[in-house]
Structure formats: structure tokens, C-alpha cells
Structure 1
Amino acid sequence: MPEVDLAFPRAYVEFVNPDDESEVMRCDLTWLTSSYRCIFGEGCPGIYADAPDVGCCTLGAHFADKTDEKRVAAYVDMLDENLWQQKPQGRAVRKKDWIEVDEDGERKTRTTTVDGQQACVFHNRKDFAPPTGGGGAGCALHALAYVLGKNPVETKPDVCWQLPIRRTFRSVERQDGTTYTEVSIGEYDRRGWGPGGHDLDWYCSGNTEAHVAPEPVYVTHEAELTELMGRAAYAELVRHCDAHVRSRSALALHPADPH
């Protein structure tokens, strides 16, 4: 099947964040109970047809803020030639080796072009064969996480480990004049990339090829959701997702899921 249409019925749940009464979590149950999983290296054709081995790492990663950049920088210093194919040789790594500023003045990871394929500087190509063996295509910072016994949530830029989960914030005023912050947790579909998202040759979140996980997103992405919501809010989300799985209607199913 081709990628599903972006507009379809969804089920949501709202609940107060147990750790912060000023926040109301608004969670997309249709997405969070879907069978999506990342299929990089397992049939992912990449977001651009001319870079099929790069996945969604073609454009590099924008940093969320200075804290995000500083955290990643600490792990970049731990990368060696066995993990990072494009690590500068014979000298210490400098910020300009892996950070660049885009046309809007935003800081992001650099991109490089190898054999005609543009990708993030941390993306190891499929011909990567480090001295210690192993290698192949993939993110150097992702590989570092496993070497350190950590979750990639800790080592990669925020946008990399969040995708394709999307968190947004909105200030809401009630009729009685009180306000709260609405924290939405949902699907980062191709619209999340801005106008250019519609030009992507392939995208995973709404594609049947990527809806093949034996367990739902809220289970497989526990680490990411806990980081985005907090542990107490995640526990409450699990309770609602469990109930939704048991009783959801056909209208609330993600159309990319197998039926």
C-alpha cells in the first residue's frame, strides 16, 4: 500500500500532568497505540530517492537549544575512529568539524556529501569498516550509546531521538479566565518538516511498510516518551493506552496499521 492520507480520524486523551497541575497532556492515542517502528537498515528507502541508505539523516539535525548542543558535544568528544567514519584524523575535533549555521542563523550538525549522497556528518556510510570490525551504515552517536550502555536519548540531538514523535506546547485560556499549558504528544508526520515535508520522496510515520512492530509505540518508545512527558505522566499515559487498546473502535485505528 502507498503512504496513507494525512487526514483521518484520531482518538485523543487529555489528563492533568501529575507532576505539574499547570499542564494538561493531550495525547494522540491513535498514533501511540499504532504498530509503527523505525525500519532503518531493514527496507527504509530514505526520505530522498537519491540517498536510499541515509534514512532521514540527509539534512542534519537542528539543536533544540544550547543545552542540547552542549550535551551532544560531550559525547562527540568520546567518539573514536571505530565509531565515527568521518572523524578528523591527526588532530582534536573542533566544533566547526560537526556544527554549521543554516541560512536562518540556526545551529545544526554539518552535512557532507559522499558518493553523491548528502547526510549528517555523524552518519556512517554502508562501506564503513572500522579497525576493530563491525561498521556499516548508521549514526555514530547512536552506536556510542550502545558502547556506553546508554539509551540513544542521552547521546543524540533532541530532534533525532524524538522523531517521529512530536511534542508541542500551547497556552489555553478557559472560560473562567484561568489558563493552562497544553502539551501535545503525537505523530511527527511529513507536515512537521514544514512546507518541504511534502517534497519528501518517502516518509515513514504514515507508511504501511513501517507499521510492523509487534508492540505499540507507547511501549517501544518508553524512553523517549518518559523524557518528553516525565515518568508520572508517562505512567498515566500507559494506563489510558492500555484501556484504549482493549476497547478502541475501528475509527481510532491508524490506517497504516495492518488490519
Structure 2
Amino acid sequence: MKGSDYISNAQNTWCPGCGNFVIQHTLKDLLAASVPPEEVVIVSGIGCHAKIADYMQTNSFYAIHGRGIPVATGIHLGNPALTVICSAGDGDAYAEGLDHLIFAAKRNVDITVIIHDNRVYGLTTGQYTPTSPAGFAGKSTPGGTQEDPLNPLDLMLASGATFIGRCYSRDKKGMQTVLTQAVQHKGFSFVEVLQVCASFYDAHDCYDEHVYTPEDHDPTNRDAAEQLIREWNYTGPGRIALGVLYTRDAMTFEERMLAGKEGTIDRTGIIRNALSGR
């Protein structure tokens, strides 16, 4: 299967230079090498990131703002054989949907969550989000925001996520390595993509200077992962670690929920009855 088989014919309206293009093409390359389109479901919320549901030739579902993760959870519980990927923005997942993100990590739901973190509400043309730097001057905060940003990777570590990764939209090779491992991981995979918003918050100069991939890092070492995650506070000029930062094995939510029920669920019959109105 070719990567182009995963790209739909929908007109693409992302801005030139948007980091979403790299995420889309990284996903289509890794999926084409491992999973047929009919076995993939992409769930998205509201925001520029969400258009990936239109641009990928797979099963897809648009959720309301911040609610993509519970939809993805339900889809995978309904059919654990599917590869379920939830794309979310920083405003989508870290503001409206933060509770869902925390509980999916806590439960160890076997889905992959990709955060398109451009650190700004791009679709509504430039308001601050939970990961915008302190002092960010946007349309809703012309004098600069008075809030310190959230460190979502630190929160995910505390919430029990069994896979935590970070990548950068100007490093496709590194992104493919992280996302491939995330999709293959059995359990909750959280990947934050530091994504350049070419129109409202172009931070590529900062990222180009400060991102790095740690050598000889053991991602099973929680203390080492925590140290890397806390090197950067989303405001200052600290070093920004990329790659698979933390991973561990644990029983998934699906394994707990479906224990003893394997082979007893007639999914085809359930769908047939639903379509026939019974």
C-alpha cells in the first residue's frame, strides 16, 4: 500500500507552512506500512488540527470541542481490533477536554492521542491557550496573559500515562520514530507535537535552537523521564527534549472491561439490528 492511498481528495485549507502538513504525511507513511485504511479510525475535535479527519482516507469521526478522547475510547471498546488515533489541539485537549485526557491516561485506554500543540487558538485567529508562554499577547490578551503555562507532559506522567513522547513538526524523521512506537504501544499513548503555526505563533526559531534528542535515555526510568520533562516550562529558554520520554507496560482498560467476554459479542448483529431500527 502506498502512502498516497491514505490522502483523501478533500481540498486542504491549512495555511502554507502549517505544521499540520508534517503530522498528516508522517501518519500516512507509518500507517501505510502497517495498517490498512479500513482498520484505522481517526477522531478529531474542533480546531485547525481537526481537518485531518477530512484529509486522511480512513474512517473518521468529528467530536465536539474537547470530547474527542471519550469518543475514541468508546470506538476502541466497541472494536478493540481497530487502530484508533485521536488528534487534538492544545486548546481542545488542555482546556475544554483536560478531564477526558487525564482519565484516559489514568485508565490506560489503548488509543493514541496526538496533540497538535501550536500553543495558540489558530482557527479563531490568535487567542492564548494553556500552553501559550507567560505574557503571550493575543487577541484575547492584548496586554499579555498573566498565566503561567501548563506542562502537559508532567501532568500525563502524574496521571499514569504508559507512553509519553514529544516531537517537533520540523523534524519528520524524529516524528515518525515517535509516532510509530506510539501506535504500536499497547496502552495509552500520548504524543505532543510542537507544531509551528505559521500565521499566529511561529516559534520555529526558538524550537530550532532548543530542541534536542537525549542520548542513552532509558524511557522506562520514570525519574529520568520526569527530569527531562521538567527541563522546559513552556515559557523560558530551557532545553526541549524530544523522543520517547517514558514508557511502561500495564494492563489496558479494554483488557479489564472485556475480561471474560471475548467471543461473546456479536458486533455484526448489533450493528445490523441498530440499522434496522430494532
TM-score by length of 1: 0.28
Q: More relative contact order in 1 or in 2 (CA 8 Å, sep 6+)? A: 1
The structure whose residues are more often strand, as a share, is 1
TM-score by length of 2: 0.27
The structure whose residues are more often helix, as a share, is 2
